[in-house]
Amino acid sequence: MNVQSTVLDRYSEGAKEVQPDLCCPVSYNTELLHALPKEIIDKDYGCGDPSRYVRKGDVVLDLGSGAGKICYMAAQLVGDKGQVIGIDMNDDMLALARKHQPDMAVKLGGNRVRFTKGNIQDLALDVDAMERYLEKAPVSNARDLASLTLWQSKQRLEQPLIADSSVDLVISNCVLNLVSDAEKQQLVQEIFRVLKPGGRVAISDIVSDEPIPVHLKRDPELWSGCISGAFHEQEFLQVFVDNGFLAVTYDKWEAAPWQVVEGIEFRSVTLTAIKGASSECLDKGHAVIYRGPYASITDDEEHVFYRGERMAVCERTFHFLTEGPMKNDFIGIAPAIEREPIPWCAPPGTKRPVAETKGGIISNTTNSGCC
């Protein structure tokens, strides 16, 4: 089965006529839907609402933007300093999303959304530019193919469609499952590449509760219908951890499965994660105390935090733990006088002697903001 052409055909139909089989019930923030044309609301093939994670001023990239609903919702949240880019490989979907752009620009008070043609597993490749190249230099033999490959490498490097470290928030609604298994690793690497340091991810997608057998994966209806290409529920988290993301979390987990096929449950989830602000570990004498309630916890970089102990951390980990999504779980102790920075990341379980932290600047003393 050619995954890409099966998916292209299915979503070209979906752009022309509403496909009830592709619709998964989702409760959206209805206030954001008022401004949207009915056609965009109806041709919704999402399975969650990643627009909930958008902040004012964000540059947002929506992978597999389809008719553009999430992009137009996000555009209302980013405000006039923000920007939303929808990327999709399907011309019919892009045409549908772009059709309403002038009206939406008037309603939103500015044109903050653009829709661009690309493959989400190769965010540097400018597919429109490649098609223009192919008109002039069609591929009919191995030599032409080698020229195309060279052109692609140069284009990715010199004028990437989505530049390195250019996006605050990558969102996606029911699309990652449509990418071939062979390209799923590369897809997550690409998400990492385009995010700014400290950038966020919010992906709504379908996961399976058991491994999916090959005969289901080879079924074009099940694959293009967002079912048999789904990640397994543990693998979905793991692929983000393996590619360097921090704080990888299921922020939403639908109790009821959307579909059950041969006893395998397929349900909608929303994964959130963060790209670390820097990769350099410098020791300046910082410590954190894990509040509990567990005896200890271990992060994805294998730091171990014992409840109530002053644990040594590098400056990068200190800021992540005391300012990031787990900030309510940690008390921070910054050194009163920072020592000369030494490249060092604390080996698992390293404690910071009390004498070294006395007089330090203590932060996050309460986790509730209440007395």
Ligand X SMILES: C[S@@+](CC[C@H](N)C(=O)[O-])C[C@H]1O[C@@H](n2cnc3c(N)ncnc32)[C@H](O)[C@@H]1O
Q: Which residues bind ligand X (CB under 6 A)?
A: 7, 11, 22, 44-46, 64-67, 69-70, 88-90, 93, 119-121, 173-175, 178-179, 226
- Say how far apart CA 232 and CA 104 lie, in whole Å: 37
Residue whose CB is less far from ligand X, 11 or 240: 11
Token pair 């493959």 is found at: 119
- How many residues would you count in the chain? 371
Residue whose CB is less far from ligand X, 63 or 264: 63
Question: Does residue 192 sit in helix, strand or coil?
Answer: helix
- Say how far apart CA 282 and CA 277 lie, in whole Å: 13
Q: CA of 351: how far to CAs of 43, 130, 279, in Å?
A: 55, 55, 22
Token pair 């661009």 is found at: 116
- Say how far apart CA 101 and CA 278 lie, in whole Å: 37
Residue whose CB is less far from ligand X, 37 or 46: 46
Minimum gap (Å) between residue 208 Cβ and ligand X: 16
Minimum gap (Å) between residue 349 Cβ and ligand X: 42
The tokens describing 323, both together, are: 């300012």
Minimum gap (Å) between residue 175 Cβ and ligand X: 4
Minimum gap (Å) between residue 62 Cβ and ligand X: 7
Beta-strand pair 287-290/330-334: antiparallel
Residue whose CB is less far from ligand X, 64 or 199: 64
- Say how far apart CA 331 and CA 273 lie, in whole Å: 22
Residue whose CB is less far from ligand X, 268 or 364: 268
Residue whose CB is less far from ligand X, 70 or 314: 70
Q: Is 181 exposed, middle or buried (0-12, 13-18, 19+ CB in 10 A)?
A: exposed
Residue whose CB is less far from ligand X, 177 or 364: 177
Residue whose CB is less far from ligand X, 77 or 175: 175
Residue 69 sits at φ, ψ, to 5 deg, of -60, -50
The tokens describing 1, both together, are: 């089965």
Question: Does residue 327 sit in helix, strand or coil?
Answer: helix
Q: Is 25 exposed, middle or buried (0-12, 13-18, 19+ CB in 10 A)?
A: exposed
In 3D space, the residue among 208, 207, 209, 227 whose CA is nearest the CA of residue 217 turns out to be 227
